[in-house]
Structure 1
Amino acid sequence: MARPLRVDIEGGTYHVMSRGIDRCVIFKCDKDRYHFLDILASAQERFRLQIYAYVLMDNHFHLIVCTPDANLSRALQWIKVSYSMWFNAKYHRVGPLFQGRFRSELVDSTESWLVELSLYVHLNPVRIKALSLDKLRKQAEGAGWVKPSEEEAQRRLDALRGFRWSSYAYYVGIRRKVPEWLNISEILDRVSSRGARAEYLRLAEARVAHGHEERFENQLKNRLAIGSEAFLEQIKSICTATDRDIAGNRELRQRVSWERVISEVEQICGKSWEEQQARGEWGRFLVYWGAQRFAGMTLKEIAGKCGYRDYSAVNMGLRRFIMRSKADSQIQYAMKRLEKVCKVQT
């Protein structure tokens, strides 16, 4: 069976969804969800993703992201592998956690398409059987045959307002301190130039009270892109008649080079790269950390630069270094200095 077409373009905006294999639960507790959000924060920095919205359901997640560097496939692979390895180790399981490749659709970032998509993503927590929205009820409400009762609508509103694992609370002001890695202004600015949070709240709650709508949901099914006719024609012109992935023609840009990271660490630690190879020196692990975080290098690439045949030694050393940094103020200071000189503003 041919793999679904994937278009990685610079500055592309995407809806992304990935589900647990056999619809299994991928978030068993709050700690799992916190860890996944930490991975999103790291991915935002490492791959220069712009993360506009998210929702974490029990057995799947949705994201809205923008890719300045045309690297959606690489970024999502890293997110899923990173979380899967952690999840499998925690719960003593083996095998894939996610069901195949992630699903994605390019989204027209003009007009109201992004706002519509964000509402679809944020309303996921109320589209569940426990809130009287099984498959048949969704079809009935979507066709306008039935409307939710006042009690049903209120239960759904309460569920939406109380759901902790989406970006909705930041959009409507329930939570004020927005994480640095989450960009809500890109969509809110399209809602209204004034009182955007209040207007977004009105839009979301009006849809909950009105009942389930299938129109936008149906537009996402088996589609490469969603948007205006002009946008769809533009995407068609980019694609060729092939059933394989289409990657950006430009190589993924590294924000800083391997050599730059080494040079900065040499200045921070006051020792040469050769001196940092000695036993007991943590400077080389600071280089590994910086290369992964600010140069976008994989463990395999770092191992290759160091002359290792296998990246397991790099992985183990890096994990121990990060654990040690939590209790070592000197390492914390060095990491902050490296971040300051290497971090690229997006």
Structure 2
Amino acid sequence: MPRPQRIEYPHAFYHVMNRGRERQTIFHDERYFQAFLVTLGEAQSRFGCIIHAYCLMSNHYHLLIETPNANLGRIMRHVNGVYTQRYNRLKQTDGPLFRGRYKAILVEKGAYLLQLSRYIHRNPIETQSPLVEDLAQYPWSSYPAYIGQAKAEPWLEREYTYAVLGHRYKFKQYQRFVQGGNDEQLMTFYSKGNTASVLGCSSFKEWVQTQYCTEVTRAAVIQQLQPELDITAIIAAVAAFYDCPISQLTEVNKGPTKGFEGRKVAMYFCQELLAANLRDIAKHFQLGHGGSVSFITHQIRQRQKSDKVFAQLLGEILTFIMKQAA
């Protein structure tokens, strides 16, 4: 499956995370934490990003970033690259620091953003061994500044979050909000191993897919939008689109429905949208081996390239699958 594309647009919000290689420590003492905060400030000044929240743990970090200029990739290349250089100078070592490509989750504004701010700030006490008893005691998070118990970094933006919270006593209300604990739905989202890259309601996911994914890249990103998709769900959605029984797709037919297009299309999307291997797909379609699936899906791709009407149909089916899974 192709590497998922980064979805970027003006004023998008992201939850950005990265950790050290092999879970190594990336912040050893105050000098390292301060070096990272300086790097964040430089990124804000240089690239015009807005940093709404942060939490730096010993071996990873969390950021809540808004990108007015749709340039998350450039921002994070600076943050990770420059901090790695500073880390190596402090540690008197060299080589890569982070495990690889950072994780970025696109976040819907409003309530989801507010819940994410709380999730980020609660990190120091959500570990197996809490780092502090009181979150206000943890100095390497923006939380103390959010509740008025520490001076905020000059680049930290808090007012938007306060406005979403909608309360005149912003320090006390935000503290009460965070102390209330994480949202259960949000915890379920993150308990899936961050497989999804979009956090928001179904209409927001559909809007992202429609506005920012071309027909070529939709298949590469739809699994980010609907991570609960599996072979059975795709088969059911394709059957609903063609208005036929599921058995017409999954059973080998030798009668009038032999070579039915929907069956081939279902195989195509099972391979295109999932990390399932060919053997598993073949079993669902009562085929003896994965080579048959590979041959059929190759036929679909070739037809997609040469037949514009068919390519448009595949786009419609893809959108339908997403709606069914929402």
* TM-score interval (norm. to shorter): 0.5 to 0.7
Aligned partners of 1:14 and 1:104 also within 8 Å: yes
Counting only pairs closer than 5 Å after superposition, residues 40-59 of structure 1 correspond to structure 2 as: 40-59=40-59
Q: How far apart in 1 are the matches of 2:116 and 2:26?
A: 23
Q: Aligned partner of 1:48: which letter?
A: G
Q: How far apart in 2 are the matches of 1:84 and 1:164?
A: 22
TM-score by length of 2: 0.62
Larger radius of gyration: 2
**Deviations along 1:270-321, whole A, 9 cap, x unmatched?**
xxxxxxxxxxxxxxxxxxxxxxxxxxxxxxxxxxxxxxxxxxxxxxxxxxxx
CA displacement at 1:197 relative to structure 2: 1.8
Q: How far apart in 2 are the matches of 1:84 and 1:187?
A: 30
Q: Aligned partner of 1:162: which letter?
A: Q
2:109 aligns to what?
109
1:74 aligns to what?
74
Residue 98 to residue 3, structure 1, CA distance change in 2 (3 Å) = same
Counting only pairs closer than 5 Å after superposition, residues 189-200 of structure 1 correspond to structure 2 as: 189-200=163-174
Aligned partners of 2:167 and 2:173 also within 8 Å: no
Tell me, yes or no, if structure 1 residue 169 matches structure 2 residue 144: yes
Q: Aligned partner of 2:36: which letter?
A: F
How many residue pairs are counted as aligned between the two chains?
218
% identity of equivalent residues: 33
Residue 231 to residue 70, structure 1, CA distance change in 2 (3 Å) = same
Tell me, yes or no, if structure 1 residue 95 matches structure 2 residue 131: no
**Deviations along 1:156-207, whole A, 9 cap, x unmatched?**
6x241210000001111212x3222000111111112311221111121121
* Secondary structure of 2:174 counterpart: helix
1:222 aligns to what?
195
Q: Aligned partner of 2:109: which letter?
A: S
Aligned partners of 1:120 and 1:216 also within 8 Å: no
Aligned partners of 1:171 and 1:197 also within 8 Å: yes
Residue 222 to residue 213, structure 1, CA distance change in 2 (3 Å) = closer
Q: How far apart in 2 are the matches of 1:191 and 1:75?
A: 28
Deviant stretches of 4+, over 2 Å: 1-5, 210-220, 240-245
* Secondary structure of 2:180 counterpart: helix
Residue 72 to residue 192, structure 1, CA distance change in 2 (3 Å) = same
Counting only pairs closer than 5 Å after superposition, residues 103-252 of structure 1 correspond to structure 2 as: 103-110=103-110, 112-131=111-130, 158-175=133-150, 177-207=151-181, 214-218=187-191, 221-237=194-210, 238-240=212-214, 241-242=216-217
Q: How far apart in 2 are the matches of 1:55 and 1:89?
A: 23
Aligned partners of 2:19 and 2:99 also within 8 Å: yes
1:8 aligns to what?
8
CA displacement at 1:222 relative to structure 2: 1.2
Q: How far apart in 1 are the matches of 2:129 and 2:108?
A: 33
Aligned partners of 2:50 and 2:157 also within 8 Å: yes
* Secondary structure of 1:62 counterpart: strand
